[in-house]
Copies of this chain bind each other. A is one copy, B any other.
Amino acid sequence: MRLLSSLLLSSSAFVGHHFRIILTLPLHFHNFPRSVSMDSSEGSLRNALSQKQSAVEAQGNAVRALKASGAAKPEIDAAIEALNALKLDKASIEKQLQAVVSGAGGDGGLNRESFRQAVVNTLERRLFYIPSFKIYRGVAGLYDYGPPGCAVKSNVLAFWRQHFVLEENMLEVDCPCVTPEVVLKASGHVDKFTDLMVKDEKTGTCYRADHLLKDYCNEKLQKDLSISAEKAAELKHVLAVLDDLSSEQLGAKIKEYGITAPDTKNPLSDPYPFNLMFQTSIGPSGLLPGYMRPETAQGIFVNFKDLYYYNGNKLPFAAAQIGQAFRNEISPRQGLLRVREFTLAEIEHFVDPEDKSHPKFADVSNLEFLMFPREEQMSGKSARKIQLGEAVAKGTVNNETLGYFIGRVYLFLTRLGIDKDRLRFRQHLANEMAHYAADCWDAEIECSYGWIECVGIADRSAYDLHAHSEKSGVPLVAHEKFAEPREVEKLVIAPVKKELGLAFKGSQKNVVEALEAMKEKEALEMKATLESNGEVEFYVCTLGKNVLIKKSMVAISKEKKKEHQRVFTPSVIEPSFGIGRIIYCLFEHSYYLRPSKAGDEQLNVFRFPPLVAPIKCTVFPLVQNQQYEQVAKVISKSLTVAGISHKIDITGTSIGKRYARTDELGVPFAITVDSASSVTIRERDSKFQIRVNVEEAASVVKDVTDGLRTWDDVWASFPHHVSASAED
């Protein structure tokens, strides 16, 4: 699932020392233990199949032998009957095995495919999204949001601002996409933000090396039932460790399996790394290389000093940014889930590493939802409902602040309309996290592509601020002023330069620096040795050799000092949201089919909550007539004033067809004008209708849309409208 991981993990997963290792870890690594040991039924079925195959062959030989020896007919018939029985058994085992391997859990890969196709067809036909530059035959991995998609997106972002920025008083910033190289050099992206690529040796077409190997293994496992249980285990093992493979190992596997270019069957080059950033050049000189940012987080980190000042030099505080990010994927697939340009919404919550409590944790501690801790993954269990407060109390979740954001993310996603039963928080495995990270949880949403990482919530410790402090020379630190000065013991290493100069001449500087760089433990050991022996062997790495340090050359002591403040690099807790992925999953979770009234067709519906719905309300004159149209216009004007996005449909189409059209866009309410004084309001999912006065119509819709009243409440307060003919 590296396939899905790079959109989102942003700085939470691909930055840092263990870059390559982190980059290449499978997102679905948690399936690993189960996968390698293999589902017991799958393993025994493969064994049974292979035994049955041998039995069929043996019995076939027996039949042929009987025939050749001219045996009696009854004897031959009996042998043939036995052969047929064996074949039937084999077919039955094949069928069972097929079900196991294709189902990814038994619910049927094919159903998922066709469900997805139905959703995507509706989405594309109604312009929720469109392949970009379609009239020029498009570009892989680039999509436009059409009118309803664009409205959903801006609703999601507005709610994100309300739920996070406003609620937490976050400092929102807006930085450019064009980023000079030095920034992304410091963050590690220039050197390490790569995928391994192979080229068709004849046509030059590029492929992601791990994708080809993965496709090969999956294809073999799903379509070739004749492979042995051992071979199947091997392929599954490859899938599990796929992203841990080095360039050389990947290349070797591709050779071993004889994998060729999918389109041409030509041989492939060895894998080599390809940087995923779009490169450009800033200014006219060609001397200032730049990149389109692969995440928005860096813009916040480089501004830490100013933001900390803006916040009155106080911790904790959070900064946030919504904006475009860019990744030049080698060969994008999976529609909106893996794209070359996408909207990220990122939060960097800066906190004192010695105090990660959160004052509002109590607000979320009683929430209970699907969590998937590290241990559960390793022991092959499934995600289970855990109370958030308990998870933090037991240390499953590292700290309160991380826990608080997990809870807030849960509320955010479910309020958007994500099904809570298809949402889980999965903890990164120890080797899946960057070395500096304290803990990391992904909000994963299940859709037709499997469990998709949509939000990453990571405690990244002080890594990013450190990296930029070092590269820029500007200290990105926080201060804690003590109410009263504190006495602290400090190690003081004082090299005696005169003595060192006499002894080491030109190498004096290297020795001085090495002495000053000693850690406390090492220094105290040297002090002890010098006091007992008068001299000590000391390794100076910049000289590559030991030197002899005498007692006169360095004074080591512990001194008491008064300190008035503590200076430290804050930790950062980073919730990072892949907005496009969340929206795509929301589309799938909101989609359903229901029969038309006549029962002759299945109609598409999106059950978006009003918060998300692209249009909140449609206004229909029941029949084409000037009076009704006038009323519709009056209502439309009130809706505009109330800030409710809506649409009038005055076509002569039947009211049933118009309802269907509006359901397919996920419009929650429809006002039908069937008199000059009162109208009906229909709720999309129940199809129930109430009758209200013309003057009230807009405000009722506004109240329900803004969440001031529920539909149930409205339903209880107004006369119900029952129509024999209006509904389709």
Among B135, B206, B474, the residue within 8 A (CB) of A283 is B206
Is A150 within 8 A of B174, CB to CB? yes
**Closest CB-CB distance, A568 to chain B, in whole Å?**
18
Which residues of the partner chain B approach A284 to less than 8 Å between Cβ atoms? Answer: 197, 206, 274, 328, 330-331
Is B651 within 8 A of A136, CB to CB? no
Is B310 within 8 A of A135, CB to CB? no
Given contact pairs A183-B133, A280-B278, A173 touches B161 in the complex (Cβ within 8 A): no
Is B178 within 8 A of A278, CB to CB? yes
Bound CA–CA A640/B360 (angstroms): 15
**Closest CB-CB distance, A235 to chain B, in whole Å?**
27
20 A-B pairs whose Cβ atoms sit less than 8 Å apart in the complex: A133-B180, A134-B306, A135-B468, A139-B282, A140-B283, A142-B176, A144-B303, A145-B174, A146-B306, A146-B307, A147-B171, A147-B310, A149-B174, A154-B161, A166-B643, A176-B341, A178-B340, A197-B284, A278-B282, A283-B328
Is A178 within 8 A of B326, CB to CB? yes
Nearest neighbor of A341 in chain B, beta-carbon distance: B176
**Closest CB-CB distance, A205 to chain B, in whole Å?**
7
Bound CA–CA A341/B179 (angstroms): 11
**Closest CB-CB distance, A106 to chain B, in whole Å?**
37
Nearest neighbor of A178 in chain B, beta-carbon distance: B341
Is B280 within 8 A of A130, CB to CB? no
Which residues of the partner chain B approach A280 to less than 8 Å between Cβ atoms? Answer: 278-280, 292
Bound CA–CA A533/B175 (angstroms): 73
Bound CA–CA A486/B243 (angstroms): 68
- Over the window 636-662 of chain A, the binary record of Cβ atoms lying under 8 Å from chain B Cβ atoms (1 yes, 0 no) is 000010010101000100000000000
Given contact pairs A144-B174, A279-B280, A280-B280, A205 touches B136 in the complex (Cβ within 8 A): no
Which residues of the partner chain B approach A133 to less than 8 Å between Cβ atoms? Answer: 179-180, 182-183, 302
**Closest CB-CB distance, A723 to chain B, in whole Å?**
25
**Closest CB-CB distance, A282 to chain B, in whole Å?**
6
Is B312 within 8 A of A651, CB to CB? yes
**Cβ-closest 6 pairs across A and B:** A145-B174, A135-B472, A147-B171, A206-B284, A135-B474, A176-B341
Which residues of the partner chain B approach A303 to less than 8 Å between Cβ atoms? Answer: 130, 134, 144, 146
Answer yes or no: A382 CB below 8 A from chain B CBs: no
A residues at B contact (CB < 8 Å): 126-127, 130, 132-136, 139-140, 142-147, 149-151, 153-154, 158, 161-162, 166-167, 169, 171-180, 182-183, 197, 204-206, 274, 278-285, 287-288, 290, 292, 299, 302-303, 305-307, 310, 312, 324, 326, 328-331, 340-341, 468, 471-472, 474, 476, 640, 643, 645, 647, 651
Among B143, B177, B285, B306, the residue within 8 A (CB) of A341 is B177
User: Of residues A143, A162, A172, which shows the largest number of chain B Cβ atoms within 10 Å of its Cβ?
Assistant: A172
Bound CA–CA A288/B330 (angstroms): 12
Is B173 within 8 A of A144, CB to CB? yes
Given contact pairs A204-B285, A643-B162, A645-B166, A132 touches B306 in the complex (Cβ within 8 A): no
Which residues of the partner chain B approach A329 to less than 8 Å between Cβ atoms? Answer: 283
Bound CA–CA A287/B199 (angstroms): 14
Bound CA–CA A127/B171 (angstroms): 11
Is B472 within 8 A of A136, CB to CB? yes
Which residues of the partner chain B approach A288 to less than 8 Å between Cβ atoms? Answer: 139
Nearest neighbor of A147 in chain B, beta-carbon distance: B171
Q: A169-B647, A206-B284 are in contact. List 11 more A-B contacts (CB 8 A).
A: A133-B179, A135-B474, A139-B290, A144-B173, A145-B173, A145-B175, A146-B173, A154-B161, A177-B341, A282-B340, A324-B324
Bound CA–CA A472/B137 (angstroms): 9
**Closest CB-CB distance, A473 to chain B, in whole Å?**
8
Which residues of the partner chain B approach A341 to less than 8 Å between Cβ atoms? Answer: 176-178
Which residues of the partner chain B approach A643 to less than 8 Å between Cβ atoms? Answer: 162, 166
Which residues of the partner chain B approach A645 to less than 8 Å between Cβ atoms? Answer: 166
Which residues of the partner chain B approach A134 to less than 8 Å between Cβ atoms? Answer: 302-303, 306
Which residues of the partner chain B approach A161 to less than 8 Å between Cβ atoms? Answer: 154
Bound CA–CA A643/B149 (angstroms): 24
**Closest CB-CB distance, A210 to chain B, in whole Å?**
14
Which residues of the partner chain B approach A474 to less than 8 Å between Cβ atoms? Answer: 135
Is A285 within 8 A of B176, CB to CB? no
